[in-house]
A and B are shown apart, each in its own frame.
Chain A
Amino acid sequence: MHTDDQIIELFRAAVKEVDGKDLGAITRETEISDLGLDSVMTMEVIGVLEEKLDMRFPDEDLATLKRIGDLTTLVRKMAA
């Protein structure tokens, strides 16, 4: 079971892996679309995160992800 902070750190590592860049400060309120990733990159980050967490997000849940907080909520819901 991961805490929000741990999930955010995994997300940060996934962005680093995909885009090679370090994200600045991000919180639960940060909008994923503001991170400077295009749509393909965003899905790639999701893919890397899935591997790190060893889970697979359903497509229909991904359609509702906007903020980092939505992502952490989804991860905790799926791990529960």
Chain B
Amino acid sequence: MEASKTGTLVDLLDGVQHITDRGYTFLSDELKPSEWSFAQIAEESRRRAEKFRALGLNKGDRLALIIPDAEDFVLSFFGAVRAGIIPVPMYPPLALAKLDGYIDNAARILATGGAKLLVTTKKVEPILWSLVSRVKTLENIVLAESLRSSRSTPATSARSRETEAVRTANGANGTNGANGTNGANGANGAEGTTTSVAITPDDTCFLQFTSGSTADPKGVVVTHASLWANAAAIMVDGLKTASDHDRGVSWLPLYHDMGLIGFVIAPLRTAVPVVFIPTMAFVKRPSVWMKTIHDYRGTITFAPNFAFGLAAKRAPKSADALDLSCLRVLGCGAEPINRKTLDTFVSAFQPMGLNPNAIMPCYGMAEATLAITFDRLDEPYRSLRIDRNAYEEEHIARPFDGEASDVLDLVACGRTFPDHEVAILDEMGRELGEGRVGEIVFAGPSVTQGYFENAAASEEMMHGRWLRTGDLGFILDGDLYISGRKKDLIILNGRNYYPQSIEWEIEHIAGIRKGNVVAFSSRGDGDESTEELVVVAESKADDKEALAQAIKKQVKDACGLAITHAIVVGPGVLPKTSSGKLQRRRTKLLYEAKQLGSQGNRSLGSAATRVMLARHVTASALARLRHRISGVLPFGGKGGASARNVFLARRRADSR
């Protein structure tokens, strides 16, 4: 298998189907493990494939997944893929988030992906039923709980299995009834009963919707061949993994490429076991990340920059609390990497045995399947201090050791993998040499076929054989450096500025909410020819004017730039994406329309929320009732009844 140049995810599942001594461990909120060996996962994928087929789904149909629980998500995902059905992973409604906006976004993604069926969980289902009436293609909602098998395994925590058995008693009985001809759990029957669907490397495996652009969602077509290529790049060339001593640990959400491809799909390639922490458990208690690595002797983990800051802040006081010497790769990607955050993380955990060389900056995006570059294994992470003036005026990266205000400090993201290429292009599409700044482009078997049923965007994405990443950067001494988003570039008097470098300076000011600062340039009101530099920052401070003055001074001192307008707003005013990333372009549009802050906070008042929630539940219930009585029960009486049951690689889309 390892030698094959291409293959499918089904081949990967088949490749691990005899491995009974390791697999995936799903931790509950209380960190209790539920263990699945690779053999059990492969078998369960066959069973769920049959279930999906029994629900009327055929090869090529799209199946939306809104499943917060990793265990249900992974098993349903593999089941769908084995049946040739195309899963569309979607984010669940986030805690304390706006429900109205969530339902609107979900409806757009479902419509764009043409999903026929939605799998969700009991908890989330009550608010999702309105989607059935809103999305033309969507025929029904199925509860993930009803897809579970009543298997009992010695490796599994008895208590969690018992609870589950009670919870799914109905669903499980339905299953046995429906699949009555052959035992649902029989290892002997499983292979024989599966009506084999021919799946080839060129087939679409799943659709990855990017998080940023909510008005016009785009689903990246991830083929089996591109997954195969990227999984090899990650597990074999990049991480040099070995099944017998490596173990992944991840809290990353599975509706996101870094969590799904990096920790659910790629590990099958070299049969590396993985421990999954619920994302919410990490967000509520960031210390569980390193604790789990310690407990399970994890060797590989990945996260975006912000998580390193969070983990460091929550580091145990005593150095004896953890032994992290097991960790050999700690990948950092999915958002701009700040050298200072990595340094803070290392100082916090080095006393606990963390090898600083384990930290591995990386770069990627959904359009590249996942990974584009990894830094070298077992080497210290490095950053490069370059001359800010030369970068902004001449678009050249020139190493420079001057005053902080004249320097840009960028972290090296390493190099790409065999059979893949990275280059830098100028505006005319010409390849630029070492140290010249331009758009980062990528080529190779990991590059996506394009966006689902969106020829215009797919065409715009490519320049000849190159995938245009939309990111700016340069290559120096073979290492790739990312300096910003092309469309976020601030251009003032013909000079290019990287908004992050301005925003990071402002975040240091006392009273400013970290991560809630946006800088952009805007055409001024009067004289059309001048670009203004605008900064919007959130603070709960009362004296917003004093803070605005402090921002102007700080940017003047640190970057030598004069801010035209510094605006300090209350918490929750800046627009964010569903995944919590700031929306620069949207902020700019609101600013230019003079609407910034006028449409209220991200979060609604309490009474309003209750009314809205009640409205959603009512709409949902009505839609469900309509769905029932209109006789639109596409999956038949019995089946229908049991079916009645829900921050990494950088995004191409408009996130930051």
By a beta-carbon cutoff of 8 Å, the part of chain A in contact with chain B is 31-40, 42-44, 46-48, 50-51, 56, 58-60, 62-67, 69-70
Q: Are B540 and A40 in touch, CB under 8 angstroms?
A: no
Is there a chain A Cβ closer than 8 Å to B161's Cβ? no
**Which chain B residue lies CB-closest to A49?**
B284
Measured between beta carbons, the chain A residues less than 8 angstroms from B285 are: 44, 47-48, 51
The smallest C-beta distance from A66 to any residue of chain B, in angstroms, reads 3
Q: Are A44 and B95 in touch, CB under 8 angstroms?
A: no
Interface string of B500-530 (1 = CB under 8 A from A): 0000000000000111100000000000000
Interface of B is mostly: loop
Interface string of B419-443 (1 = CB under 8 A from A): 0000000000000000000000000
The smallest C-beta distance from A22 to any residue of chain B, in angstroms, reads 13
Whole-angstrom distance between the alpha carbons of A35 and B572 in the complex?
10
Q: Are B513 and A60 in touch, CB under 8 angstroms?
A: no
Measured between beta carbons, the chain B residues less than 8 angstroms from A58 are: 123
**Which chain A residue lies CB-closest to B602?**
A33
Of A51, A59, A62, A64, the contact of B613 (CB 8 Å cutoff): A64
Q: Are B572 and A33 in touch, CB under 8 angstroms?
A: yes
Measured between beta carbons, the chain A residues less than 8 angstroms from B310 are: 40, 44
Measured between beta carbons, the chain A residues less than 8 angstroms from B540 are: 34-36
Interface string of B85-103 (1 = CB under 8 A from A): 0000000011111010000
Is there a chain A Cβ closer than 8 Å to B610's Cβ? yes
Whole-angstrom distance between the alpha carbons of A34 and B123 in the complex?
28
Q: Are A64 and B609 in touch, CB under 8 angstroms?
A: yes
**Which chain B residue lies CB-closest to A50?**
B284
Q: Are A31 and B539 in touch, CB under 8 angstroms?
A: no
Measured between beta carbons, the chain A residues less than 8 angstroms from B570 are: 34
How many residues on B have C-beta within 8 angstroms of the other chain's C-beta atoms?
Answer: 37
29 residue pairs A–B, Cβ–Cβ below 8 Å = A33-B571, A33-B601, A35-B571, A36-B539, A38-B513, A39-B94, A39-B97, A40-B283, A40-B310, A43-B284, A44-B284, A44-B285, A44-B286, A44-B310, A46-B95, A46-B284, A50-B284, A51-B285, A56-B30, A58-B123, A59-B280, A62-B95, A62-B96, A63-B97, A64-B609, A66-B96, A66-B604, A67-B606, A70-B606
Is there a chain A Cβ closer than 8 Å to B29's Cβ? yes
Within 480-518 of B, Cβ neighbours of A (below 8 Å) are at 513-516
Whole-angstrom distance between the alpha carbons of A42 and B513 in the complex?
13
Whole-angstrom distance between the alpha carbons of A37 and B513 in the complex?
8
- Max chain A Cβ within 10 angstroms of own Cβ: one of B514, B603, B604, B606: B606
The smallest C-beta distance from B332 to any residue of chain A, in angstroms, reads 17
- Max chain A Cβ within 10 angstroms of own Cβ: one of B68, B97, B284, B613: B284
Is there a chain A Cβ closer than 8 Å to B631's Cβ? no
